[in-house]
Amino acid sequence: MSLAQELAEGIAAMELAVTSEQQAKLLDYLALLRKWNAVYNLTAIRQQEQMVSNHLLDSLAVLPYLWPQRWLDVGCGGGLPGVILAVMRPEWSFTLLDSNSKKTGFVQQAAIELGLRNVEVRCERVEQWQAPQKFDGIISRAFAEAADFVMLTRHLLAEGGRWAAMKGAPEQELARLPAGVKVERVITLQVPKLEAARSLVVLGVEK
Q: What is the DSSP string of 130-174?
A: --SS-EEEEEESSSS-HHHHHHHHGGGEEEEEEEEEEESS-HHHH
CA distance 141 to 166: 5
pLDDT of residue 44: 60
Instruction: Over range 11-40, report the average pLDDT.
Output: 92
Residues at the binding site are 75, 80, 126-127, 141
**Coil, strand or helix at 69:** coil
Please count the other Cβ atoms lying within 10 Å of the Cβ belonging to residue 185: 13
Domain boundaries along the sequence of the chain: 58-205
- The pLDDT of 151-160, averaged and rounded, is 97
What's residue 142's pLDDT?
80
Nearest CA to 52 out of 85, 9, 112 is that of: 9
In this structure, of 2-16, 28-42, 158-172, 179-193, the range with the lowest mean pLDDT score is 28-42
Determine the average pLDDT of the residues in 66-71. 98
Residue 45 pLDDT greater than 70, yes or no: no
Identify whether the C-beta of residue 134 lies closer than 8 Å to the C-beta of residue 158: yes
Residue 182: CB atoms within 10 Å: 12
Burial of 146 (C-beta count, 10 Å sphere; 0-12/13-18/19+): buried
The pLDDT of residue 46 is above 70 = no
- Whether the pLDDT of residue 129 is over 90: the answer is yes
- Please state which CATH number belongs to domain 58-205: 3.40.50.150
State which amino acid sits at residue 14. Answer: M
Report residue 127: phi and psi, to 5°: -70, -20
CA torsion, points 44, 85, 187, 75, in degrees to nearest 10?
Answer: 50
Are the C-beta atoms of residues 187 and 66 closer than 8 Å to each other? no
Length of the chain counted residue by residue: 207
| Annotated binding-site positions for S-adenosyl-L-methionine | 75, 80, 126-127, 141
Name which of 63-67, 70-74, 88-92, 192-196 the model is least confident about: 192-196
Q: What percent of the chain has pLDDT over 90?
A: 84
Q: What is the mean pLDDT of the chain?
A: 94
pLDDT at 97: 98
**Number of helices followed by number of strands (H, E) in the chain:** 8, 7
Whether residue 84 contacts residue 29, with contact meaning beta carbons closer than 8 Å, is answered with yes
Q: What is the pLDDT of residue 42?
A: 67
Q: Please give the full DSSP string across 93-115, using - where no structure is assigned.
A: EEEEEES-HHHHHHHHHHHHHTT
C-alpha span between 72 and 157 (Å, rounded)? 9
Q: What's the rounded mean pLDDT across residues 108-132? A: 97
Within a 10 A sphere around the Cβ of 170, how many other Cβ atoms?
Answer: 18
